[in-house]
Amino acid sequence: MKKRIVPFIVGSLLLSLSTEANPLHSKAANFLEESSRAFTQVADKAMPATVFIKVQIAQQTPDMLTPFDFYGDDIFRKFFGQPFQQPPQQQPQPQTAGGSGFLIGSDGYIVTNYHVVKDASQITVVLNDDREFAATVKGTDPRTDLALLKIEETNLPYLTFGDSDTLKVGEWVVAIGNPFGLEATLTVGVVSAKGRQDVGIASYEDFIQTDAAINPGNSGGPLLDLEGNVIGINTAIFSRSGGYMGIGLAIPSRMARHVIDQLVHDGNVRRAYLGIVLQPVDKDLAEALTMDKQEGILISEVVKDSPAAKAGLVNGDIILQYNDKPIKNVTKFRNDIAMMIPGSEIKLRILRNNKQMTIVATLGTQTEGEAISAELIQKIGLQLENLSPEIAAKLGLPSDVEGIVISKVKPGSPAANAGLRPNFLITGIGTSMNNQKKVRNVTDLEDGLNELSDKKHIILLVRHSNYQRYYTIRINS
């Protein structure tokens, strides 16, 4: 009897809720209508200012592939015999690609992702009204994956940046772009998370995560709040299929606006520089340093003659706060320093010998070499720490050993493919067997990386389990 009564009761409730006279139905209908109007208003405002970017890539000679390029030779020979004969060499063919962007001024300035236009020999912008314009690149910032384009036209619709810092997880957001070349496509979702870092897409990462459907071709398009303000630039997706799987990443507007404003006015980006190498304070390190609680980030090295050195910071200092804000993690601190103005002051609350003190440092300007070496370390997939006595004791290393410790290796990275693993100790670097440099700290490694120029490989001398061997890492394709 119970099995028949339950569906009858549920069915009756659903029937009563579906009647026009029911107040719950009326409230639900009103909510849906209001939501629909909000999305429609965003579309009316943002779609005219969102553009399709067609990119022609410099001519390349196509690589001719056979089934043996994808599968084991032995298996396929069993079915196909000897490898196929290569067809005659073809003439180089131009390649085309597409992405999205949006206007930020009536005078034709357009924001998109750097990866959309980085190899372009020709860029065409298609407006929402189907007008096409040749575009020029006015500035790029590979470290945040942003680019600024310009078309020669006026009186254009445009969007304004909102404040991504005020976003909360669960808020509605709208993504507009051109997935798979389908122009002017709108999708809706929520903010799934904020502050996604260390995903290996760009040097400076602080992504907004959303479940609004983002697919190939959406890159560079706007992520908007319900007021139609740009609170992010759609950049990447996590996917096993190449298509939408519910996780999209967008550069927050706070970071994007800082970069774009500089590209508009100067054509390049200047970043502040403090000159310290940092590592997290984990539970073991906090206990070893007899700290009352696990907090802050540890300065494992102060670069000689850097702003940090001039301010009086020393190895072993623990930064607890900066400009009266608590430290969240190393990556967040590094990002925030980079977004400050060179020449400005930063107030640091530090812990030294279990005593707190305040130090004020005047920030310098990050040089190209410092940026390149940091990017290269990230590109090959390594996170590094200077070798402290505590870490040496934990790893069972002799007291006279020098080097830097690999704390993390990104899965699938060049470093992982080369066989490097966490807790390995890098003791040297070379661009050839006859050109080697001793690595005693992260700065030594960065100095060696800066000398690589256009080399395709680096050679690292690495110690593990009382043995040393050379590891070769390919850094350019």
Task: Catalogue the active-site residues.
Answer: 115, 145, 219
| CA-CA-CA-CA dihedral for 240, 245, 246, 247, to nearest 10 | 30
Contact present, 130 and 184 (Cβ < 8 Å): no
Which distant-in-sequence residues (6+ apart) come within 8 Å of 5 by Cβ? none
At 248 the three-state DSSP class reads: strand
Distance CA 445, CA 440 (A): 8
Nearest to 378 by CA among 237, 204, 195, 141: 204
Distances in Å between the Cα of 333 and the Cα atoms of 147, 320, 437 are 24, 11, 30
Nearest to 424 by CA among 452, 404, 444: 404
Residue 209 pairs with which residues in a beta bridge? 193, 249
Contact present, 382 and 420 (Cβ < 8 Å): yes
Residue 432 pairs with which residues in a beta bridge? 435
Backbone angles phi, psi at 187, to 5 degrees: -130, 155
At 3 the three-state DSSP class reads: helix
| CA-CA-CA-CA dihedral for 305, 306, 312, 318, to nearest 10 | -140
Q: Where are the alpha helices (DSSP H) in 316-469?
A: 330-338, 368-380, 389-395, 414-418, 442-450
Distance CA 300, CA 316 (A): 6
Number of residues assigned to the chain: 477
